[in-house]
């Protein structure tokens, strides 16, 4: 056992030192909580080096879309309505559809999408998460379709000039999960309920190897405490498995409606706060350690999308049932950029708006 621990520690240190060499620009964390009574909640934090003018959007079914990568863009019609969070008002960074599928885009420095295949249609990476939300109800359905690589992804630079190197996580109301990474021009998919945590570099397979050391040590003995991706992965893995999976009699009286679903959402948000970086904290020479801008918790059983801003004093939520997402309904927006403040159920605060344009990509 001691020899195994030394080997794992050596691997952990080697990966840890390699992480220090990465100068990524975004540091986010994603978790999936599976409780009792059918409760599944996906949590996510968005960490970035600057404000990204995020807003919430309600997209109904039936929207005609394209991949924003003319002239050979993929086109589709949305099968499902969704609530999403935009990034720079030019991409879908996060969201949940009315079937309970959740999509999260996180930074991955190692991403390499390869050269476009002239025989396939293309999409801009700004539309990747939205494509999944528009087209799939379950992770299994998405994996079956995307494993065939029906399109090529092109990653243009972000509006601030940074590279759009991203990987995608999907989770559904059954607790199923999948991680999608493009490495060396090839799509790698990790599919299974065991993949409940995702952060950033290194690639997911190496994150799993690194985390095995910390699981062997045990989170009640020691947890790594920096804001680097591998440390957040270890802390998030321990915490998402440590929080209660049923009503906690010690705290339930303080929960709205004494609801287990609300308790679970609060627990997931607390996990996301525990792996967040305080607002304004920056580390010289470590741009991958960026402040947390916002956090979400998506209740996939009851279809409620919770939003927790690091720059606002309140948590608010959006029950998808309170939005009109049927085909032909008006696209609506909830403005949160510029310091807008909301509390409680904010579904009635959405207003009609012209949709943002997805960041276009060029085939070169």
In a domain, 105, yes or no: yes
Residue 234 contacts residue 207 (beta carbons within 8 Å)? no
What is the C-alpha radius of gyration for the chain, rounded to an integer number of angstroms? Answer: 20
Residue 357 in any domain: the answer is no
The CATH number of whichever domain residue 28 belongs to comes to 3.60.60.10
* Residue whose entry in the numeric block shows the structure tokens 């959402």: 265
- Give the whole-angstrom CA distance, residue 363 versus residue 124: 10
DSSP bridge pairs for 304: 299, 319
In this structure, are strands 332-334 and 351-352 parallel, antiparallel, or unpaired?
antiparallel
Residue 139 near residue 177, CB atoms below 8 Å: yes
Instruction: Please state the φ and ψ torsions of residue 228, each to the nearest 5 degrees.
Output: -65, 155
Residue 360 resides in a domain: no
pLDDT at 92: 98
φ, ψ for residue 6, nearest 5 deg: -65, -40
3-state secondary structure of 154: strand
CA 45 – CA 95 distance, rounded (Å): 12
Domain that holds residue 125: 2-352
Beta sheet of 56-59, edge-to-edge order: 186-191, 177-183, 166-171, 102-107, 92-97, 82-86, 56-59, 332-334, 351-352
Please state the φ and ψ torsions of residue 237, each to the nearest 5 degrees.
-60, -45
* 3-class secondary-structure state, position 135: helix
pLDDT of residue 8: 43
Averaged pLDDT in 10-residue chunks for the chain of 364 residues: 44 41 62 98 95 97 96 97 98 99 95 92 98 99 98 91 90 98 96 94 80 64 76 92 97 97 98 94 68 97 98 95 99 97 98 98 83
> Catalytic pick from 12, 15, 28, 229?
28
| Residue 326: burial class (beta carbons within 10 Å; 0-12, 13-18, 19+) | exposed
pLDDT, residue 214, reads 60
Q: Check residue 16 and give its pLDDT.
A: 43
- 359 lies in a domain? no
Query: Of 292, 349, 356, nearest to 319 (Cα)?
Result: 349
Confidence at residue 160, expressed as pLDDT on a 0 to 100 scale: 82
Among this protein's residues, is 70 annotated catalytic? no
Picking from 119, 64, 147, the residue whose alpha carbon sits closest to that of residue 363 is 119
Asked if residue 118 is part of any domain, the answer here is yes
Question: Is residue 119 within 8 Å of residue 79, measured between CB atoms?
Answer: no
Beta partners for 102? 96, 171
- For the entire predicted model, the pTM comes to 0.91
Domain tally for the chain? 1
Q: Is residue 363 part of a domain?
A: no
Tell me the two tokens of residue 30.
Answer: 């994603």
């Amino acid at each position: 056992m001691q020899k195994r621990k030394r080997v794992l520690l050596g691997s952990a240190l080697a990966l840890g030192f390699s992480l220090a060499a990465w100068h990524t620009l975004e540091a986010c964390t994603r978790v999936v909580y599976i409780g009792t009574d059918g409760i599944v909640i996906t949590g996510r934090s968005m960490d970035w080096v600057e404000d990204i003018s995020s807003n919430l959007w309600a997209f109904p079914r039936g929207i005609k879309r394209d991949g924003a990568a003319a002239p050979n863009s993929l086109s589709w019609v949305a099968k499902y309505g969704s609530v999403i969070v935009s990034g720079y008002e030019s991409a879908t960074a996060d969201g949940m559809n009315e079937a309970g599928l959740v999509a999260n885009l996180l930074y991955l420095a190692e991403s390499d999408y390869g050269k476009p295949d002239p025989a396939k249609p293309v999409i801009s990476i700004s539309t990747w998460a939205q494509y999944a939300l528009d087209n799939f109800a379950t992770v299994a359905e998405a994996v079956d379709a995307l494993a065939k690589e029906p399109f090529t992804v092109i990653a243009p630079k972000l509006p601030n000039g940074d590279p759009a190197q991203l990987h995608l996580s999907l989770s559904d109301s059954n607790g199923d999960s999948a991680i999608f990474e493009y490495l060396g021009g090839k799509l790698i998919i990790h599919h299974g309920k065991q993949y409940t945590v995702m952060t950033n570099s290194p690639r997911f397979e190496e994150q799993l190897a690194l985390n095995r050391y910390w699981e062997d040590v045990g989170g009640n003995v020691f947890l790594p405490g920096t804001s680097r991706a591998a440390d957040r992965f270890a802390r998030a893995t321990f915490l998402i498995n440590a929080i209660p999976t049923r009503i906690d009699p010690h705290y339930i009286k303080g929960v709205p409606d004494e609801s287990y679903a609300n308790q679970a959402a609060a627990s997931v948000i607390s996990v996301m706060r525990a792996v967040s970086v305080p607002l304004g904290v920056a580390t010289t020479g470590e741009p991958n350690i960026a402040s947390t801008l916002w956090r979400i918790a998506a209740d996939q059983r009851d279809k409620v999308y919770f939003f927790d801003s690091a720059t606002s004093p309140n948590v608010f939520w959006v029950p998808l049932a309170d939005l009109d997402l049927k085909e032909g309904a008006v696209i609506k927006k909830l403005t949160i950029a510029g310091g807008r403040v909301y509390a409680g159920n904010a579904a009635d605060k959405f207003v009609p708006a012209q949709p943002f344009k997805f960041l276009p990509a060029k085939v070169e």
